C-alpha cells in the first residue's frame, strides 16, 4: 500500500521539479513472482491474496493475480482461483466503495513518508553520480541493486525473512515440482526469486542417500524445543532425520551411529550433557551440536568428530548444502 501511495507522491514531486503539472498516470500491478515458491505452492495463494489486497488499498488501477502454481504448470482450476481472489476482494470486502481505504492510518502514512524520502534521496544520489545513463554505463546502479538483493537473500537464509513452507515450516515429504515452462513464462522464470536456493536444496536431497539422526542426550521432554528446531532446520533441505532414544553415554551413541550407518548426526542436550559424552565419541559420522558454543571449545572437540553447530540465525543454505554433500549419490 505504502509503495503505491509513495509512487504517486514522487511522481508529483518529479514532475514539479521540471516545472510541469504531473499528468495522470495509471498504475498496473501484479502479484510478485519473486516471492513465489515451487515448494508448498498453496502458500502462494496466501501471498497472492495479501499482495492483491494491498495493491487495491494502495490505489492500483488494474491488477493481475498469478495462479499459485504459476512456476510449474497452471491449470484451469488454479486460474479460476486466481481470478476469484480479485472477485472476493471486490465483492465481499467492498474496497471499491472507498476512495482511499488506507488514508489516516498512522502506520501506512508514516511508511509512505519513509518511502517517499528514501526514494527521493535515491533520485538525488543517482543525479549526483551523473544521471541515469551514467550510473547504468558505469555499472553503479546494477551493483547497488545486486547488493540489496544479496542482503535479502541473506535475510531469507538466516530466517530474518520468512518464506512459509520454504525456509520455515517445510514439509520434506512434499514432492519438488518440475517446471514446465511455456513461452509466456520465460520472463518470469528467469527472474530472481528468494525461494530458488531452497528449491535447489530440496531437489538435491532427492538424488542423494543421506542417513541422518537427531541424537537425544536427555529425555525428549527436557529438550523438545531444541529437537524441534533441528528437525525444522533439516526439513528445509528435505532431510528427514532418525530420532534416537535417550542415549546417555558415548558408548551408546557410538553403537547407535554404527548400527544405523549414520552419515550425519546432531547432538541435542544441555552443555553439561554434551561435555559428558563428547570426549568419548568415536565415529565416522559427521557430528554437529545443537546450540551455540565458543569457537575455542569447538576447536578442542574437533578431534572427536565435532564439526559445527546449528542455531537460530545460522546461514541455512550454506549449511544444508554442506550436509547434503555428505550423502551418497542415489542410483
3-class SS shares of the chain: helix, strand, coil, % to 5:
55, 10, 35
Nearest CA-CA partner of 274 in 306, 240, 322: 306
pLDDT at 184: 47
**Residues 191-213: pLDDT tens digits?**
689 999 999 999 999 999 999 99
Q: What percent of the chain has pLDDT over 90?
A: 73
pLDDT of the residue at 192: 83
The 10s digit of each residue's pLDDT in 74-126 is 899 999 999 999 999 988 988 878 888 888 889 999 999 999 999 999 999 99
Give the model's pLDDT for residue 73: 84
> How high is the pLDDT of residue 182?
45
pLDDT at 72: 86
Which residue is listed with cell 487495491?
56
| CB 264 within 8 Å of CB 210 | yes
CA 259 remoteness from chain centre: 36
Q: Nine-digit cell at 64?
A: 493481475
Supply the pLDDT for residue 199: 93
pLDDT band at 18; cut points 50, 70, 90: confident
Mean of the per-residue pLDDT values for the chain?
A: 90
Q: Is the pLDDT of residue 186 over 70?
A: no
Q: What is the pTM of this model?
A: 0.85
pLDDT at 189: 53
- The fraction of the chain above a pLDDT of 70, given in percent, is 95
Question: How, if at all, do strands 208-209 and 328-329 pair?
Answer: antiparallel
Taking the C-alpha atoms of 30, 92, 57 and 59 in order, what is their torsion angle to the nearest 10 degrees?
Answer: 70
Mean of pLDDT values over 263-286: 94
Q: What are the backbone dihedrals phi and psi of residue 292, each rounded to the nearest 5 degrees, phi first?
A: -95, 140
* 302-330 per-position pLDDT tens digit: 999 999 999 999 999 999 999 999 988 76
Confidence band, pLDDT 50/70/90 cuts, at residue 35: confident
If pLDDT is split at 50, 70 and 90, which confidence band does 66 have?
Answer: very high
The yes-or-no verdict on residue 17 having pLDDT over 60 is yes
Return the residue matching grid coordinates 544441555: 270
Amino acid at each position: 500500500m505504502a509503495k503505491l501511495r509513495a509512487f504517486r507522491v514522487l511522481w508529483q514531486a518529479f514532475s514539479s521539479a521540471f516545472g510541469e503539472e504531473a499528468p495522470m498516470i495509471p498504475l498496473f500491478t501484479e502479484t510478485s513472482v519473486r516471492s513465489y515458491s515451487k515448494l508448498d505452492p498453496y502458500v502462494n495463494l496466501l501471498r497472492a491474496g495479501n499482495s492483491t489486497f494491498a495493491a487495491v488499498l494502495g490505489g492500483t488501477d488494474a491488477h493481475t493475480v498469478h495462479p499459485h502454481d504459476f512456476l510449474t504448470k497452471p491449470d484451469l482450476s488454479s486460474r479460476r482461483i486466481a481470478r476469484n481472489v480479485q472477485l472476493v476482494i471486490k465483492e465481499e470486502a467492498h474496497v471499491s466503495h472507498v476512495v482511499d481505504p488506507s488514508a489516516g492510518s498512522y502506520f501506512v502514512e508514516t511508511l509512505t513518508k519513509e518511502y517517499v524520502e528514501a526514494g527521493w534521496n535515491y533520485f538525488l544520489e543517482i543525479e549526483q553520480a551523473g544521471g541515469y545513463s551514467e550510473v547504468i554505463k558505469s555499472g553503479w546502479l546494477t551493483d547497488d541493486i545486486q547488493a540489496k538483493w544479496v542482503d535479502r537473500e541473506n535475510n531469507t537464509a538466516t530466517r530474518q525473512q520468512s518464506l512459509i513452507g520454504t525456509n520455515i515450516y517445510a514439509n520434506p515429504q512434499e514432492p519438488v515440482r518440475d517446471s514446465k515452462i511455456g513461452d509466456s513464462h520465460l520472463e518470469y522464470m528467469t527472474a530472481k526469486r528468494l525461494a530458488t536456493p531452497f528449491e535447489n536444496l530440496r531437489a538435491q536431497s532427492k538424488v542423494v542417500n543421506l542417513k541422518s539422526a537427531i541424537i537425544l542426550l536427555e529425555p525428549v521432554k527436557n529438550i523438545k524445543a531444541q529437537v524441534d528446531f533441528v528437525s525444522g532446520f533439516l526439513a528445509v533441505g528435505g532431510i528427514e532425520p532418525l530420532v534416537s532414544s535417550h542415549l546417555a553415554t558415548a558408548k551408546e551413541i557410538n553403537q547407535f551411529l554404527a548400527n544405523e550407518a549414520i552419515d550425519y548426526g546432531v547432538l541435542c542436550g544441555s552443555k553439561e550433557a554434551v561435555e559428558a559424552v563428547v570426549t568419548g565419541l568415536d565415529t565416522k559420522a559427521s557430528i554437529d551440536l545443537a546450540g551455540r558454543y565458543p569457537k575455542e571449545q569447538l576447536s578442542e572437540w574437533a578431534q572427536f568428530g565435532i564439526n559445527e553447530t546449528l542455531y537460530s540465525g545460522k546461514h541455512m543454505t550454506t549449511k544444508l548444502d554442506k550436509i547434503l554433500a555428505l550423502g551418497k549419490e542415489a542410483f
